[in-house]
Amino acid sequence: MPDSRPTTGLDSIDYFLSFDAAEPEGAEAHYSETLVRLGRPPAYYEPFFVPTDIRSRAELGLPEHGALYVCPQALFKFHPDFDAVLADILAQDPAGWIVVLDGPQPAWKDALRERWSRAHPILTVRVWFLPWQPLDSFMMLLAHADVLLDPAHFGSGNTFYESMIFGVPSITWPGLFMRGRIVAGIYRHLGIADAPIAATLADYAGLAVAVASDRQRRERLRAELLRKGAALYRDAASVRELEAFFEQAVSAAAEGRKLEGWRSSP
């Protein structure tokens, strides 16, 4: 994998705002900017739309049988390392389906399928493509997912917030850089006891199949995610933390200096 760091590389940018639970030790070395480790995810979300009448799998164009491993991410996020994970999931669960969405550019799907045909032909057969979905159908798709798959190296963000409305477990592996660590970081921030975080990329497929095939474990996870995940919405404390940072950063700039090692007050 190329050493593509989550940094702008621009001298005109002073700070990169992230949150502590999503950053590994020593992450400051990944940035040309001064890394700001906020205490909570720097986001304010209103609760998402929840359909009141969930259409059936068949009505949504989904396979009617087998576990659904749903990865409703932009296709450009699918790294070749993740292809191997998807193939391993299908090898361990031959009745399961990987469900993904077409992108706005047909060339993305064509390139992906061509790559799969060479390296992992099973993916050309057992990956189920759906058209890009309007919001109501998209939320219904999430409701039918046994698990969500967080792509390796370039993970989920907004989709994770959407899925937490239903408490759908997202399988994740925290890579080296923040862009692949958001889901694991939020799990840690919320204190999810049995968070489905793979220790290594090689463990990812086995964890996904284990959670998808264990109804009791999924239901326990869903209950905890629904209970604790409610704190992610309308999080005014994240807004107050950002305000405090910006006020201090502006004051420091007026004095001709930058903040270093900023933390929110307890």
CB 78 within 8 A of CB 105: no
Q: Per-residue pLDDT tens for 14-27? A: 999 999 999 999 99
In order of their start, the domains of the chain are 1-44+235-266 (3.40.50.11380), 58-232 (3.40.50.2000)
Q: Per-residue pLDDT tens for 73-120? A: 999 999 999 999 999 999 999 999 999 999 888 899 999 999 999 999
Residue partners of 25: CB distance under 8 A and separation at least 6: none
* Confidence band, pLDDT 50/70/90 cuts, at residue 1: very low
pLDDT for 264: 67
DSSP 56-110: PTGGGT--SSS-EEE--S-GGG--HHHHHHHHHHHHH-TT-EEEEE--SSHHHHH
Beta-bridge partners for 172: 197
Q: Per-residue pLDDT tens for 36-85? A: 999 999 999 998 888 888 999 999 999 999 999 999 999 999 999 999 99
Tell me the whole-structure pTM to 2 decimals: 0.92
**Nearest of 248, 245, 260, 250 to residue 39 by alpha carbon:** 245
**Nearest of 174, 168, 182 to residue 138 by alpha carbon:** 168
| Pairwise CA distance, residues 207 & 89, whole Å | 9
CB 223 within 8 A of CB 167: yes
| Pairwise CA distance, residues 245 & 239, whole Å | 10
Average pLDDT over residues 231-250: 95
CA Rg value for the chain: 20
Average pLDDT, the chain: 93
pLDDT for 3: 47
Q: Per-residue pLDDT tens for 166-206? A: 999 999 999 999 999 999 999 999 999 999 999 999 999 99
pLDDT for 6: 64
Average pLDDT over residues 223-252: 95
CB 182 within 8 A of CB 157: yes
The residue type at 249 = A
pLDDT for 2: 42
Average pLDDT over residues 152-170: 94
pLDDT for 8: 78
- Per-residue burial over 4-30, b if 16 or more Cβ lie within 10 Å, else e, is ebbeeeeeeeebbbbbbbbbeeebeeb
SS3 content of the chain, % helix, strand, coil (to 5): 45, 10, 40
Could you give the 3-state DSSP secondary structure of residue 19?
strand
